[in-house]
Structure 1
Amino acid sequence: MAMTMKIPSRELWSYFGYGLGQCFSFGLVGSFINYFYTDVLGISALAASTIFLIARAWDAIHDPLFASIMDTINSRFGKFRHFMLIAPLLITGVTLLAFYKIEADMTTKILYAGVTYILWGTLYAISDIPFWSMSSVMTNDSGQRTRAVTAAMLGVNAGIACANIFFPKLAAFFAQHSNDKGYFMAALVMMLVGLPLMLNGFMQIKERVPPSPEKVTMRDTFHNLRQNKPLFVILMSFFFCVFHNVANGIYIYFFIYNMGDGSLQMAIGIMGIVAAVVCLIAPMLTRKIQKRKLFMILCGLDVAVRGVMWFAGYQHTALLFILLGLSTLFVMMTNILTSSMIADTIEYAEYHTHKRCAAITFSGQTFTGKMSVAVGGGLIGVFLTLIGYVPQAQTQSDGVLAGLFFGICLLPAIGSLIRLAVMSRFTFTEEKHAEICRLLAERRNGSGDKHDEERLDRPVTAS
């Protein structure tokens, strides 16, 4: 058997810290950049939507291309760590540029917004892809990887939640001294806190899994990606979080019109932090239940909770938030399992192609996540139009109120049903992963049994 590589707790906390700091930026841009463009910078909603569309098209080219280049590089810091030294500085700088209000004509403002947003997405990938790829080289053990991914996902969700909780308060504080509603100074404070957290992650996190002995070319990385059949099943299930992303965008409308209090949106951020802490039990659960089975159970529980929420209504605020909190927990834990299973597929592809290409594998997660958020953002407008929502109205019709409640209850339930169905086709279990790790270790030592490799070739499939 291949030697197990245990990750020290201090290193896991540093991995958590990097994700926390990085997602201050992701949370700021993901939650507030659209409002900044339309209500602070003053460009039209159509112009902002066009910028987002162009950015996603560029991501489709850039993310896998950059990842393929990354897989061909080794440095004295390892395969991925050196990117985590320069990326924090780049992310901090470009996030501040994105929230800087320039005084110029409208065309220049649109060009500035477009360039800084696309640059942000490009530089964010230079951090996010190696950040997640690190989970595959910190250890070769599936259980230890789940611990690493849990720490990373805890940091990611805590970072996004902190951005949603603290940024509005900071912006309100600085607004009285600025002409940009306090956005730039609030972003500066958040990123000055996030920067040392990311740099500490670079200093503390270690790579332990050796790269492939053979030289990896860019052509090899794309061949490796095509051979990684289990990865595509996981990414498809991840993409269908799009229904939950639509619900996330509808919450503010629901709280304003159905509940009569838009400030309740802050509770979503608080629930995210609480759910992220509870997700620390994920490694314990995966020691007793296969990841695939646990993923499907969680999707089923989310469907059940959303159904109860629909029939219970929203007259009882406490019950509503308990159910929303449970749903947040279930979905967040499936995303932890997603990242852990993606890391395990790296050995699957390495076994079949003789090349280890972690970055191109995790670029799939980065791009799919961006695409799911972008499609979800576009569908919010479509959904609001379909239910007859009237912008800036004091009240909405009963049909619109029912539609908004449907959007936060049953629409995500449909997404979880689809995710459950997709994951049912995934068959690359922990047992098969452990066997592949053993054979890879023997292959590196030159002691592999060809009969074992031929036997394993048959059952190790994605579906």
Structure 2
Amino acid sequence: MFIGITTVLCFTDFRLGTSAVAVAAICYVLWGMSYTVCDIPIWALSSVASKNPDEKNQLVTLGKIGGTVGTAIVTVCGIMLIKAFGTEREAGAYTGAALILAVIGGLLMILTSLVMRERIRPDKEAVPIRQNLRTITRNKPLKLLMISLLIVNLVNNLRQVTQMYFVVYVWGDSGQLINVGISLIIGMCLGMAVSPKLLARFEKRVVYMWACILGFISSSLPFFVAGDSILTALLFLGASFAFTGVTTVSSTSMLMDGIDYSEWKLGFRGEGLVFSMNTLLNKFSATLAKGILGLGLVLMHYVENQPVTATTQWGFSFMMYLVPGICFLISMIPLFFYKISKEEKDAISAMQKQKYQEF
């Protein structure tokens, strides 16, 4: 429930004058810490909720779709809640909206903890942190996957930080930001929805790499062919988001394979460390995206609220289309060396059946 409290604090006006910035920074750091503490066990649960790989893929898919839909609900209903408590310029309206969302989110987390069941229960013997780190350092498939994840996460992170500049300077209408959000939600949900069937039929690495190839194509083409057609660009963006949805589910499924591989090879699972590292990579990727945007603004000699120029149109199009496309391609490179053989998978499956048959 600490995350609910820190969420409300982040949207509370303490009326402290110049000290408000420091207080807001502290509240945001506390929120980030509480988010991490909640995020890691929730996703770690997905790796122990079932011994069946297909069921794990379905759990991951439902979780990722739920996150995407939840983001959409907060985006739309958040404004409605704010207006229900006041106006967009009243601090109390934001506090009230945050309180309602925090209560709902907290209740859903409690519900998850009550109904979820762990069907893979590792030994309760504590593993020293130095030994736990071997989950990653001595797990080549996992190391390669995490390098790939750091890069592929830049696709959505770059678009998230660039999209407002893009719709204003390229499309000339900030209202189009809603349509970009709709294309993201529809595309991501469709991509995630088809992922379990793809993963059941094809090797996970192959699904991931094909999604990256098609993501590169759908991301890059509008830079050259969309022209002034917003509809064409939105369709390509929706397709690109769909392939991002596929990479999201397939990579999370491979993360769980890496945890099982660690248990088979090293004797312990280390899912907490793996998912905490994954959260760190997500945050680091978001930071890199902001750095890339900052570099782009410097190279364009951008000044806030400046008029539209050919340079800004080309630059923001480049960062919205081509750079994410390039990230798709680069993220494939580590996975050329990623391999968990069929024999190893069979050995892992046999180990789990024997070790956790009572669950």
Task: Find the aligned partners of 1:427 and 1:324 in 2 and give their Cα distance.
Answer: 31
Is 2:182 aligned against 1:259? no
Task: Find the aligned partners of 1:204 and 1:138 in 2 and give their Cα distance.
Answer: 11
Is 2:201 aligned against 1:288? yes
Identity %: 26
Task: Find the aligned partners of 1:276 and 1:202 in 2 and give their Cα distance.
Answer: 26
Match of 2:147 among 224, 231, 236: 236
Task: Find the aligned partners of 2:169 and 2:102 in 1 and give their Cα distance.
Answer: 33
> Which residue in the other structure is 1:184 paired with?
95
Is 2:265 aligned against 1:352? yes
> Which residue in the other structure is 2:234 paired with?
321
Task: Find the aligned partners of 1:258 and 1:124 in 2 and give their Cα distance.
Answer: 35
> Which residue in the other structure is 2:75 paired with?
164
After the TM superposition, which residues 28-427 of structure 1 pair with which residues of structure 2 at under 5 Å, given as runs? Answer: 89-106=1-18, 108-172=19-83, 174-176=85-87, 179-180=90-91, 182-212=93-123, 214-240=125-151, 241-278=153-190, 279-393=192-306, 395-427=307-339
1:440: how far off? 4.8
1:314: how far off? 3.9
Residue segments in structure 2 that go unaligned for 5+ positions in a row? none
Task: Find the aligned partners of 2:327 and 2:284 in 1 and give their Cα distance.
Answer: 15
Change (3 A) 1:267 1:431: farther
Change (3 A) 1:362 1:303: same
TM-score between the two structures when normalised by the length of structure 1: 0.72
Question: In the TM superposition, what whole-angstrom CA distance separates every residue of 1:41-90 from its partner, at most 9, and x where no partner exists?
Answer: xxxxxxxxxxxxxxxxxxxxxxxxxxxxxxxxxxxxxxxxxxxxxxxx11
Change (3 A) 1:223 1:175: same
Change (3 A) 1:298 1:430: farther
Matched length:
355
1:118: how far off? 1.1
Whichever residue aligns with residue 93 of structure 1, its letter is I
Task: Find the aligned partners of 1:175 and 1:131 in 2 and give their Cα distance.
Answer: 34
Whichever residue aligns with residue 110 of structure 1, its letter is V
Contact 2:183 2:235 in 1 (8 A): no
Whichever residue aligns with residue 166 of structure 1, its letter is C
Q: What is the SS of the residue equivalent to 2:304? A: coil
Task: Find the aligned partners of 2:29 and 2:113 in 1 and give their Cα distance.
Answer: 25
1:283: how far off? 0.8
Whichever residue aligns with residue 270 of structure 2, its letter is C
Change (3 A) 1:431 1:113: farther
1:290: how far off? 0.7
Task: Find the aligned partners of 1:167 and 1:438 in 2 and give their Cα distance.
Answer: 48
Contact 2:57 2:253 in 1 (8 A): yes
Contact 2:7 2:98 in 1 (8 A): yes
Task: Find the aligned partners of 2:227 and 2:105 in 1 and give their Cα distance.
Answer: 37
Task: Find the aligned partners of 2:342 and 2:251 in 1 and give their Cα distance.
Answer: 13
1:137: how far off? 0.6
Question: In the TM superposition, what whole-angstrom CA distance separates every residue of 1:179-213 from its partner, at most 9, and x where no partner exists?
Answer: 32832223223223323222221222111112136
Task: Find the aligned partners of 2:321 and 2:304 in 1 and give their Cα distance.
Answer: 22
Contact 1:227 1:352 in 2 (8 A): no
1:249: how far off? 1.1
Task: Find the aligned partners of 1:420 and 1:181 in 2 and give their Cα distance.
Answer: 47
Which shifted more, 239-248 or 142-151?
A: 239-248
Contact 2:120 2:356 in 1 (8 A): no
> Which residue in the other structure is 1:26 paired with?
none
Change (3 A) 1:219 1:179: same
Which shifted more, 423-432 or 359-368?
A: 423-432
Task: Find the aligned partners of 1:177 and 1:259 in 2 and give their Cα distance.
Answer: 26
Contact 1:171 1:182 in 2 (8 A): yes
1:163: how far off? 2.7
Task: Find the aligned partners of 1:136 and 1:151 in 2 and give their Cα distance.
Answer: 14
After the TM superposition, which residues 15-30 of structure 1 pair with which residues of structure 2 at under 5 Å, given as runs? Answer: none
Question: In the TM superposition, what whole-angstrom CA distance separates every residue of 1:73-114 from its partner, at most 9, and x where no partner exists?
Answer: xxxxxxxxxxxxxxxx111111110111221132x2232122
Q: What is the SS of the residue equivalent to 2:120? A: coil
Contact 1:165 1:270 in 2 (8 A): no
Task: Find the aligned partners of 1:235 and 1:121 in 2 and give their Cα distance.
Answer: 21
Question: In the TM superposition, what whole-angstrom CA distance separates every residue of 1:279-329 from its partner, at most 9, and x where no partner exists?
Answer: 222111111111100100000001111222112134122211111101011
Whichever residue aligns with residue 92 of structure 1, its letter is G
Is 2:340 aligned against 1:439? no
Question: In the TM superposition, what whole-angstrom CA distance separates every residue of 1:227-261 from its partner, at most 9, and x where no partner exists?
Answer: 22211111111111224412221111111122121
Q: What is the SS of the residue equivalent to 2:337? A: coil
1:381: how far off? 2.0
Whichever residue aligns with residue 275 of structure 2, its letter is F
Task: Find the aligned partners of 1:214 and 1:249 in 2 and give their Cα distance.
Answer: 44
1:334: how far off? 0.2
1:406: how far off? 1.0
1:442: how far off? 4.4
